[in-house]
Structure 1
Amino acid sequence: MEILTSPKDSIINVVRSVADKVESDFYLRLLILRNTLTVPININTLTFKIMSQGKNVKEITYREDILADRVKSGIEELNCYRENIVSECIGMEKFWNDSNIATSTTIESGKQFVFMGEHFKLLNETIVDELIISITYVENETEKVLNCKMPVIEYKNKNKYIFPVKGTWIATDIYSTIDSHRWCYNSEFAFDLGQLDNNLLFINKDYMDNVDFVHYGKKVVAIADGEVVDCFTRFPEHSLGYPNKMSKEEYDKLEEKYGPIARTCGNYVIIKHLYDEYSVYCHMIPESLTVNIGDRVGQGQVIGKIGNSGNSICPHLHFHLMDGKDILSAKGLPCYFTNIKNIFNQFIDLPDEDGMIIIAE
């Protein structure tokens, strides 16, 4: 029997102080149980033990009926991924086909049981630092237990970063909205940025032009010194708003021409910073990039302008940090900033509420 997970070796924990306690927030993207035996097994329970300083602070147990439902929904989700971006979504190459995935809690020899997407968020006196996965199963009428321990770590940036735009912005689709960027391995801690109009509204009416958005064409800056290791500037924009987004057929043709990264990111820049942290800026205006691959950039240097290219329904900046150059395989990282405040003029370091107002100095 073998347990595989995504992420593989450890889970990143976003930690916040809430009143007199600590909030831990972390996400197990994928759990695979492979039956390496010569006989079938049947899973009875799956238990997550949440640990802090060696103490079990919470347990979550799924029994056979719920697990059967999760298996079916997991298979449906896996089959939604386009094959050339699987690793971008789940952090591993495609491992399944119709013949090797179990469709119930009974796992035949050589098949694998898949459990997708478990979000953990809890308050405690101390930070969560370990997740123990415990699976009980029946083999030849004997109940057995298989355990797997995963470190849960609070990631600290190795560099000092400034926000990728200046002024007042609204941050959406942040890590707390787990049905948005967080489902994707490379951009788990990504967020999108736009601006409100003079009436404090984010306008998104049918048939708007891109220039109707107040942030269209605003400057994007490098969050720290570094080297441009990848960029693209020729992906066309949507000329209007959501109803006129390109069809799948148009996207497929553009992907054949420019590749899967441009299809998703549109016009983008990836910058390598010290200690192997990489910042990603997406959806910019065609030909607006001011940098090329190999260029050295300084913190605060303009690298492009906000647009509506790639997988985008309106002008905005998608931003995230990751641990490698290749957006199709790198792991997403939290990015903490030194120069932002909230609407109450309080210094913060991370957008942590969906739709929050961010003021960047």
Structure 2
Amino acid sequence: MEVVTKPKDFIINMALESGGKVISNFLLHGLRIKNSSDKKLILKDIKFELYTSNTLVKEIVYQGESLSNIIKKFAENGAWLGKGFGAKLFLGEEGFWNPECYTDSVEMRPNQETGIFNEYFVVIYDKVIDKLVIKVNYLQCEEEHVHELKIPLIQYKNKNQYILPLKGSISTCGNYNSLPDHRQHYSMEFAFDMAQYNVDQKLCYKENMCDEDYIVYGKDVLAIADGEVVDCYYSFDMTTSWNWDERKPYIDKYGLAAQCGNYIVLKHENEEYSFYGHLLTNSLTIKNGDKVKQGQVIGKVGNTGLSNCPHLHFQLMDGPDFLTARGLPCSFLNITDVAGNRLNFIQEENIIVHAE
């Protein structure tokens, strides 16, 4: 039996204290279960155990009909997770799963595999959840076995000090609390989008708005910290379709720009990288290899790539490659909420923050 997770080393827990309790919030992007033996086996259950200081807090178990259903649905719908742009976008790599070896039942022949894709956990408890234990129970040669895997949960702390990449009152959306949004993608787990409302607190305030009608369009985008430009694209001049078949030819021709539009990747100290997407065509003020200072204008907000209106897509990563790097939470020095209270992380979906 082979059990592998994505990520495999640790999982980031975005724990938040509220009302005397701690809300633990974390995501397992992928779980692969493979029969690596030369004999068939039968899966009995998949169990997730959540711990704090070695105290079991909660169990989540897939067994019986629920287990059969997730295995069958994974076999029917998970072929695209094996290779290609989609596999990289959602898992950070190709080949984590091999669709040719999927089983559609709890009976697994040698080399067959199954999996769980994007398992979300939200737990309210007195203390933060600090460990996930995965137990796979199976029957083989009339003997019951349990394969156990332990994964630590950490609360990530940024290694550098950052400022928000836009100034003024900024509306944010698509953060990690919006489960089906950016978070399901590997590098975008903690990404979010930024726009601005007009004086009536509306993003869209009339019919048939053009790009120039949006308040945020053309606004300066700032470097969140000192760094170096390690990747950028400046000349993509269109928005692409949300239909994959229509977008794929542009992906094949332009690569990442067809997804993110014009973009910039900055390398900061301690191997943290910031990403800025959907920028205005030919607005970049930098090029690869340039050194930048915190607060320096590096481009302008646009509406290029896979975008439904002018906005800035932002994320922090542990590497320079948008498709293979791991997403990281990003705290900011200079943001407050609408009441003037100091914020570090943007932890709520659809809130307005102010940045000086």
Contact 1:64 1:105 (C-alpha < 8 Å) held by counterparts = no
Contact 2:241 2:247 (C-alpha < 8 Å) held by counterparts = no
Rounded Cα–Cα distance in structure 2 between residues aligned with 1:226 and 1:54: 40
Aligned equivalent of 1:241:
none
- Aligned: 1:182 with 2:177: no
What is the total number of aligned residue pairs between the two structures?
355
- Aligned: 1:257 with 2:253: yes
* Residues 1:77 and 1:126: Cα distance change in structure 2 (over 3 Å): same
Aligned equivalent of 1:267:
262
Report the AA paired with residue 183 of structure 2.
Answer: R
Runs of 4+ in 1 over 6 A off after TM superposition: none
* Residues 1:80 and 1:34: Cα distance change in structure 2 (over 3 Å): closer
Report the AA paired with residue 312 of structure 1.
Answer: S
Rounded Cα–Cα distance in structure 1 between residues aligned with 2:243 and 2:70: 31
Aligned equivalent of 2:298:
303
Matches within 5 A, 1:186-265: 186-203=187-204, 207-238=208-239, 245=241, 251-259=247-255, 261-265=256-260
Structure 1: unaligned runs, 5 residues or longer: 239-243
Report the AA paired with residue 287 of structure 1.
Answer: N
For the residue of structure 1 that corresponds to 2:257, the secondary structure is helix
Greater Cα offset, 67-76 or 146-155: 67-76
- Aligned: 1:158 with 2:154: no
For the residue of structure 2 that corresponds to 1:14, the secondary structure is coil
Q: TM-score, normalised by structure 2?
A: 0.95
* Residues 1:211 and 1:73: Cα distance change in structure 2 (over 3 Å): farther
Matches within 5 A, 1:305-324: 305-324=300-319
Rounded Cα–Cα distance in structure 2 between residues aligned with 1:149 and 1:316: 40
Report the AA paired with residue 335 of structure 1.
Answer: C
Rounded Cα–Cα distance in structure 2 between residues aligned with 1:116 and 1:248: 20
Report the AA paired with residue 268 of structure 1.
Answer: Y
* Residues 1:95 and 1:249: Cα distance change in structure 2 (over 3 Å): closer
Contact 1:245 1:313 (C-alpha < 8 Å) held by counterparts = no
Give the percent of matched residue pairs that are identical in Structure 1 and Structure 2.
39
Report the AA paired with residue 200 of structure 2.
Answer: N
Greater Cα offset, 90-99 or 285-294: 90-99
Rounded Cα–Cα distance in structure 1 between residues aligned with 2:132 and 2:244: 40
Contact 1:87 1:94 (C-alpha < 8 Å) held by counterparts = no
Q: After TM superposition, give the deviation of residue 173 of structure 1 in Å.
A: 0.7
For the residue of structure 2 that corresponds to 1:149, the secondary structure is strand
Report the AA paired with residue 292 of structure 1.
Answer: K
Q: After TM superposition, give the deviation of residue 151 of structure 1 in Å.
A: 0.7
* Residues 1:22 and 1:102: Cα distance change in structure 2 (over 3 Å): same
Rounded Cα–Cα distance in structure 2 between residues aligned with 1:198 and 1:152: 42
Tell me the alpha carbon deviations over residues 231-289 of structure 1, each in whole angstroms, 9 at most, x when there is no partner.
Answer: 00011134xxxxx9587566344333322x11111100000000000000000111001
Aligned equivalent of 1:24:
24
Aligned equivalent of 1:116:
117
Q: After TM superposition, give the deviation of residue 152 of structure 1 in Å.
A: 0.5
Greater Cα offset, 265-274 or 136-145: 136-145
Structure 2: unaligned runs, 5 residues or longer: none
Aligned equivalent of 1:62:
62
Q: TM-score, normalised by structure 1?
A: 0.94
Rounded Cα–Cα distance in structure 2 between residues aligned with 1:245 and 1:206: 21
Rounded Cα–Cα distance in structure 2 between residues aligned with 1:48 and 1:104: 20
Contact 2:223 2:293 (C-alpha < 8 Å) held by counterparts = yes
Rounded Cα–Cα distance in structure 1 between residues aligned with 2:73 and 2:181: 17
Contact 1:88 1:328 (C-alpha < 8 Å) held by counterparts = yes
